[in-house]
Amino acid sequence: MTDVTMNGAVSPATYPDRLRLFEIASEQGGYFTAEQARASGYSFAVLSHHVRSGRFVRVRRGLYRLREYPSFPRDEVLVAWLAAGKDVAVISHESALDLLDLSDVIPDAVHLTVPRSRRYLPAAPGVKIHTTERLIRPTDRTIRGGMVITSAARTILDAAEAGTAPEQIEMAVAQAVERGMVLPDQLRRDAAERGRRVATLIEGALIKVAA
């Protein structure tokens, strides 16, 4: 079947591609954005129809969930990350420590880091937006449950710089080193760029690991 465009050209009709949308949502704990739905052929009218019928659940403006998809253990983190923009934000600080299972810290909010140029990005309730001028390199990122989070080394240093309790940082360093997630010498060099307090804290943690 074809559609006729305004200039008279014939083009294929656009149909909702449920398989494509399901594949996208499956990589995001069952969630998808309105933009992703449109890219999968779902017009606003069709999207609204599926919400009314109960097939899709509208989580917040621009964010939806497949009703039949099983719940995700870190739903609040995933939702906050997708709402902020998966191409803009990265899960970081204490939220990343938790996802990486590097300490006993209980995050008081969902922590996200965005470039300084996006510092005006509004934070939803329960979300803490951190801005940075430090480039988040590919090596500073890792994937957990389909979510982009900061690597172990970047997470430890960001959390230390932001004031996470020293005992939690020491625990994170010990676990990351023991599990081969960080190289001590590289962590030490990167810590030196964060100022004396962070460098001293990391050095003390590394000494305890080596003892």
What pLDDT, in 10s, does the model give residues 135-180? Answer: 899 999 999 888 999 999 999 999 999 999 999 999 999 999 999 9
Report the C-alpha gap between 112 and 185 in whole angstroms.
27
Are residue 35 and residue 95 in the same domain, yes or no? no
What is the model's pTM?
A: 0.76
Q: Show the beta-strand stretches assigned E in the chain.
A: 2-4, 10-12, 31-33, 56-60, 63-66, 90-91, 110-115, 127-132, 141-144, 147-150
Are residue 42 and residue 132 in the same domain, yes or no? no
Among 66, 93, 110, where does a domain finish? 66
- Residue 8 confidence (pLDDT): 39
Report the C-alpha gap between 96 and 152 in whole angstroms.
8
Are residue 101 and residue 151 in the same domain, yes or no? yes
Tally the domains of the chain.
2
Q: Where are the alpha helices (DSSP H) in 6-109?
A: 18-26, 34-39, 44-53, 75-84, 93-99
* Separation in Å, CA 118 to CA 89, 114, 129, 130: 9, 6, 10, 10
Q: Which domain holds residue 162?
A: 83-210
Are residue 93 and residue 62 in the same domain, yes or no? no
The answer to whether residue 77 sits within a structural domain is no
What pLDDT, in 10s, does the model give residues 114-134? Answer: 998 887 877 778 999 999 998
Are residue 89 and residue 48 in the same domain, yes or no? no
Per the DSSP assignment, residues forming a β-bridge with 172 are none
Residue 14 banded pLDDT, cuts 50, 70, 90: low
Over range 70-75, report the average pLDDT: 74
